[in-house]
Chains A and B, each alone.
Chain A
Amino acid sequence: MNPAPTPVIPADAAERRDALAVGWGIAPISFVFSAAFGAYAVAVGMPAIAALAMSVLMFSGGAQMAMVSLAGAGAGLLPAAVTGLLLNARYLLIGASVAPALPGPWWKRVAAAATLNDPSWIYAVRRDGSVNRTRLLWSSLGQYIGWVAGTVVGVLLGPKIGSIETIGLDTVMPMFFVSLFVADLRARTGAERRRALRIAAAAAVIALALAPFAPAGVPVLVAVAVILVLVGRRPA
C-alpha cells in the first residue's frame, strides 16, 4: 500500500520564494543608500525626475553616485562616463561568472544581465563557482524596488536630510559588504576558509594600496584580477 502523498512545494518554487525573501531582506539597505543618492543628486543640481530616471535605468549605486558627483562638480560627460565604466568594470568578471547559468536568446541574456548586482551574485554563487540562476534573478527584485523607492524619498526629502556623513549613513555600504564577507566565510570550512581569508586579505591590501593613486573603480578591479590570475593558475 502506498503512503498518502504528502503535499510538497516544488523545489524551484521554494527556491524562488527564498530568493525573493533574500531580496526583500536587502531592500531596506538599498532604500537607505538610494535615498542618500536621491538627496545628493538634487543637492548638486540634478532635476528630481532625472535622478529617478537614473535609478530606474541604471540600478548601480556606486556608478550613479560617482557620475552625479562629478557632473555636479562641473566635470564633462567623458570623465563622468569613464568613471562610471571603471566602477562597473567588475561586472565583466561577474558577468563571465553568471554566463553559464544564462542560456537562451541574446535579449533574454541582456535582460538578465541588467538585473545583476553584487549581493544577488554572492548569494547565487555555489561553492564550486557555478551560479544558481533562480537565486541570482529573483533576489534582485526586492532590491530594485527598494532602490527606486529610496530615490523617490531621497529627492523629495533631499533638502531636509543634510549630509549623510553627519548621521553616519556613509557606513551603510561598507557595513553591508562586511556582512556579505562574513556570510561567505561562514559557508566555508577548514582549509578552504583559511584560503579565502588569505585571498581576501591580499585583495584588500592591493585595493587599499592603489586607492590613493588610481581612479575610482580601478583598485577593486586590479586587486580582484590579480588574485584571480594567481588562483586560476594553481590547482586547488
Chain B
Amino acid sequence: MKVDVWMLIAAGVAVTLGPKAVGPLLLGGRTLSAPIQRALTLLPPALVAALVVVAIWGTDGAGGAERAAGVAAGTMIVLRRGPLLLAMVVAAAVAAGLRLLF
C-alpha cells in the first residue's frame, strides 16, 4: 500500500459522513416540497433495483454469471416467503458450485 492508511481512513470518514450529513444539516426538521415528497415515495424501489444489478454485474465483470445464477436461485426462495438466511445459503452454494464445475 502506497498511501498512509490513517490518511485513507480520514478520507474515508470525510467522504462517508459528508454525503450523509448534508441533507440533515441543511434541511433538518423541515418539510419537503410536494414534488420531492412524491419522488421520494418511489426512491426505495429505484435505488434498490439499481443496487441489485450493480452488485451482480457492476464489479469488474468477473464472476457475474455465477453470481446472477446464485441470486436467481435465492430469489425463488424469497418469492416463496422462505427464510432470507436459507436464500443466502442457496445463492452462495449455487454460485460456488458453478465455479467449482466450470
Are A and B genuine complex partners? yes
A134 at the interface (CB under 8 A from B): no
Any B CB within 8 A of the CB of A171 = yes
Q: Are B19 and A95 closer than 8 Å at their CB atoms?
A: yes
Closest to B92 in A: A168
Contact bitstring A111-149, B, C-beta under 8 A = 1, else 0: 011101010011001011110000000000000000000
Interface residues on A, range: 35 or more
B65 at the interface (CB under 8 A from A): no
In which size bucket is the chain B interface? 35 or more
**Residues in B1-59 with C-beta less than 8 Å from chain A:** 1-9, 11-32, 35-59
Query: Which listed residue (B37, B50, B71) contacts A219, Cβ 8 A?
Result: B50
Does A220 have its Cβ within 8 Å of any Cβ on chain B?
yes
Q: Contacts A81-B14, A91-B20, A109-B21; is A129 near B40 (CB within 8 Å)?
A: yes
Which residues of chain A are near B1, meaning CB under 8 Å?
44-46, 71-72, 74
Distance of B28 from chain A, by nearest CB (Å) = 4
The answer to whether residues A232 and B52 also contact, given A44-B1, A100-B27 and a CB cut-off of 8 A, is no
Q: List A contacts of B49 (CB < 8 A).
A: 181, 199-201, 203-204, 207
Q: Which residues of A are found within 8 Å of B88, using beta-carbon distances?
A: 29, 171-172, 175-176
Supply 11 further A-B pairs (C-beta < 8 A) apart from A60-B16, A125-B43, A199-B46. Answer: A63-B12, A77-B11, A165-B99, A172-B88, A177-B48, A177-B55, A180-B44, A182-B78, A204-B53, A211-B54, A211-B58
